[in-house]
Amino acid sequence: MCGRYTATTNIEELSEVIPGKFQYPLFTPSYNIAPSQKAPIVTFTDDEYHGELAKWGLVPHWMKNPKKPFINARSESIFEKPSFKYLYAKNRCVVLADGFYEWSMFGNTKRPVYFYLENHKPFAFAGYWERDREEKDLRTFVIMTTEAAEDVSNFHHRMPVMLNKQGVEAWLRGGRKEVLRPFAEPIKHHIVSRIVNSPANNTPDCVLPADGEGAGA
């Protein structure tokens, strides 16, 4: 699944994945974005792209007794399940990113693995947004998941839906469902330090390779 990710460069650089111009939101790069935190998303309405900071974790507006916010939605079922169906028409968004973490067992130890693209190229997650219950001006978002691509499958069987610039346009402008699939481009990875486990840690050390440490290969 996807429960932690990075957006480590400035917003202009991350926005290279958006196929049009828009106003950049104020954003501080992060090596450890966790659920409930605010991060940049992009929506598309009235033929314009719009960027803003939104909160990770979506509670559907119809829920009477809100429990845990949803941080992920299975892309395979979002068109059939009543829970998310209503969001497709007008609440699509993408989430700017340049890497994500998955935790995987190595022997008896669970360790974080960092996934990213060649040259640390920026990309986006496919998502849905909805207005926050209390703060009307704040949007919340959920990240779509899909089956793991080959480069990820040794570590985890699910991964976020990743989009390149072409995919962003197809999802936001076109609402094209066929972009919701495992990413087709090569994905790089390495084991990182457990300091990333705590959302309080947000330094470049989070994404550094930490090969030897602890349980061996």
Partner DNA sequence: CCAGACGTTGTT
Partner DNA sequence: GTCTGG
Residues labelled as active-site residues:
2, 102
Beta bridge partners of 110: 105
Which CB, 70 or 129, lies closer to DNA? 70
Which CB, 48 or 79, lies closer to DNA? 79
Torsion sign over Cα 194, 118, 92, 152: negative
Closest distance to DNA from the beta carbon of 195 (Å): 9
- Going from the C-alpha of 206 to that of each of 130, 159, 180, 199, 217, the distances in angstroms are 30, 19, 28, 10, 20
Closest distance to DNA from the beta carbon of 174 (Å): 20
Closest distance to DNA from the beta carbon of 38 (Å): 10
C-alpha span between 64 and 71 (Å, rounded): 18
Neighbours of 191 (CB within 10 A): 20
Tell me which residues touch DNA (CB under 7 A): 1, 3-4, 34-37, 57, 62-64, 67-68, 70-74, 77-78, 81-86, 103, 105, 110, 112, 145, 156-158, 194, 197-200
Which CB, 30 or 164, lies closer to DNA? 30
